[in-house]
Amino acid sequence: MGPARVPDGPSWDVGALSRMNAPTEAPPGAPAPPQRATAAEPVGPRRPWLPVWSDVAGPGLSRTRAPASAEVVDLAATRPRTRSAEQRRASRRPAVAGWRRSLTHLRSLVGSDETPHDLLAAATAVQQPVTTGRRVVVVGAHGGAGVTTVAVLVTRVLAALRSDQVVVAALLNDGGALGGRLGPTQVPNLRGVHVRGDGADRGAGAVENLSRAHAFTVLDLAGEVDHPAVGLAHAVVLVTSLDESGAPSVADVAGELRAAGADPRAVVVVAVDTGRGTATGTGATRTVLREGGATVVALPGDRHLAAGGAVTPALLAEPTYVAAHRVAAEVVRRAREA
């Protein structure tokens, strides 16, 4: 007897398959069969803080983001502050000319330079792990101190040196300042949002929700020292100008921060050299601030930052680049100790 012949086509009994898949009627009194869950009906309870959407992330990065909320608006949905063509060109120029960069590099080859050591120490501190989301509040001791600039600098350093998610937020009424300073970014673990501050808690609840899905949440509060989010912060960056009015402004705002619930040990003072009357008050301001027990990091004047456009770390002058890393390192140290 030869081998069995395999049919050329299907020999299924279509009618039999239809009868097998047809629903059968249950006998009277029998319990109803369980219904199969569909894609629109999730199985089991869902934790309310779990992210409801993901974003593209690089290798080893967390793919989750904060839950969608009516209180949080992505910067892409808001219009940044408009700037002139001259301002945009100035923001794309490096802070130091190319020949000066080359000269500095040659000097570092033949002389002693502490910059690599300082950057390594700061990077090591920034990369320390955190167990839960840390909230960082950036406030100004007075108007025009550069709060948004410092907030973006800290966020840029955190996102560049860490592999987890980092978000920078500002209140919705900031006039597009955060969007203009942050600019378009392709960093996969960096996000920029606006928080609606017209609720009962002025957006503090939305900031707390953001920190549940991000390792670091940096909030630009401008001059709102009495904001409820100050009491929720693990680290506070107090920005002041490096002139004669810098130290008195810090002394006044420090008491307001304590009244708002901030831990004095969590405060880092950033003294910004704005170039306005700093020639006579720089030394005195640093002395007064340090004698008061505050940790002071001086942010030197920088042509790239003074242009007012999007902050690009690669275009910063070397002293400003190192100072930004020092600020981020101090922020992470205090956030981990909180």
Q: Please report, as a single letter, which amino acid is at residue 259.
A: A
Retrieve residue 63's tokens: 């793919």
- pLDDT of amino acid 246: 62
- pLDDT of amino acid 208: 93
Contact 55, 65 (CB under 8 A): yes
Contact 166, 159 (CB under 8 A): yes
Neighbours of 63 (CB within 10 A): 14
Residues in the chain where the model's pLDDT stays below 50: 6-7, 9-14, 16-18, 20-21, 36-68, 99, 278-280
Neighbours of 157 (CB within 10 A): 24
- pLDDT of amino acid 286: 64
Q: Whole domain around residue 236: which residue ranges?
A: 73-337
Contact 241, 278 (CB under 8 A): yes
- pLDDT of amino acid 37: 46
- pLDDT of amino acid 123: 96
Instruction: Evaluate whether residue 198 is within a structural domain.
Output: yes
pTM of the complete model beyond 0.75: no
Instruction: Evaluate whether residue 137 is within a structural domain.
Output: yes
Instruction: Evaluate whether residue 56 is within a structural domain.
Output: no
- pLDDT of amino acid 212: 94
- pLDDT of amino acid 200: 79
Instruction: Evaluate whether residue 186 is within a structural domain.
Output: yes
Q: What are phi and psi of 84, to 5 degrees?
A: -75, 165
- pLDDT of amino acid 95: 53
Q: What is the CATH number of the domain that holds 168?
A: 3.40.50.300
Instruction: Evaluate whether residue 272 is within a structural domain.
Output: yes
Total domain count for the chain?
A: 1
Instruction: Evaluate whether residue 249 is within a structural domain.
Output: yes
Instruction: Evaluate whether residue 55 is within a structural domain.
Output: no
Instruction: Evaluate whether residue 125 is within a structural domain.
Output: yes
